[in-house]
Amino acid sequence: MKKSFLIVGLGRFGACVAKTLAQMNCDVLAIDIDEESVAAIANDVTHAIVADSTKMDILNSLGTKNIDHAIIAIGNNLQASILTVVNLRKLGVKMITVRADTVEYKELFSLIGANEIIIPEEESAILLANQVRSDSILDYYIISDNNVMVKISVGVDLKKKTIIDLDIRNRFSVNIVGIIRDNKFFIPHATDTLLIGDIAVVVGLKNDINKFDNFLNN
């Protein structure tokens, strides 16, 4: 069954999220008070509607109470974001993600019922810093405040030892959840080995990931 998403606010960030979800075969209801913004995305999502998310009756008429996940991407309008979160909570939407402009608003949105608060500029900066810190870290995904998933290229010859022989989980407190070899992804067994040129998909705490990266690449 397709997941359904409500995207509120169709600036560059909101429009990009809406289009990406639609491309992933999700049902996307995208709304904004600006007609031009709605028209620009109308052909890319399931439904695009000019609507004011601060009005409870409007959200209710759109059937938003049946949405699986709402993403509030209004930006630069704290009052509208707050009212939208409150309205969606009252309507029973279980998962609400909010875009915040500053870290000071994180606690506020959490207190009024948002499940997840993101600061795009801050997260982009963190991702960039972690990627450029090490030439071997190819991708970096934030899972929670302290946990990340990364793709690390393997630069040392470890083929003489299996993953269980390396005792990676106990030594580094990280988990290898996948290996990409010759552009093919597979979930490794404990008896598999890591080869030079492999890309290890690893989950763990940030500091532990950095230590494991150093191990894989001296």
The pLDDT assigned to 67 comes to: 93
> How large is the average pLDDT for residues 16-34?
92
- Better-scored residue on pLDDT, 215 or 101: 215
> How large is the average pLDDT for residues 164-182?
92
pLDDT at 42 over 70: yes
pLDDT at 195 over 70: yes
- CB count, 10 Å around CB of 63? 13
d(Cα 39, Cα 33) in Å, to the nearest integer?
11
SS3 100: coil
Please give the sequence-ordered ranges of beta strands (E in DSSP) within the chain, or none if there are none: 4-8, 27-32, 47-50, 69-72, 95-99, 116-118, 137-142, 147-153, 175-181, 184-186, 199-205
The pLDDT assigned to 127 comes to: 61
The pLDDT assigned to 145 comes to: 64
The pLDDT assigned to 182 comes to: 92
Across all residues in the chain, what is the average pLDDT?
88
Closest CA to 80 of 130, 14, 151, 23: 14
The pLDDT assigned to 134 comes to: 63
> How large is the average pLDDT for residues 186-207?
90
d(Cα 195, Cα 192) in Å, to the nearest integer?
10
d(Cα 64, Cα 91) in Å, to the nearest integer?
7
Burial of 16 per CB tally in 10 Å (0-12, 13-18, 19+): middle
Q: Which residues contact 41 (CB under 8 A, 6 or more apart)?
A: 10, 15, 18, 19, 30, 48
Q: Biggest alpha carbon distance in the chain?
A: 65
Q: What is the DSSP letter of 46?
A: S
| Predicted model pTM | 0.66
- Residues 65-86 have pLDDT tens digits of 899 999 999 978 899 999 999 9
- Better-scored residue on pLDDT, 144 or 117: 117
> How large is the average pLDDT for residues 135-142?
73
> How large is the average pLDDT for residues 113-121?
84
Note whether 212 and 174 are within 8 A (CB).
Answer: yes
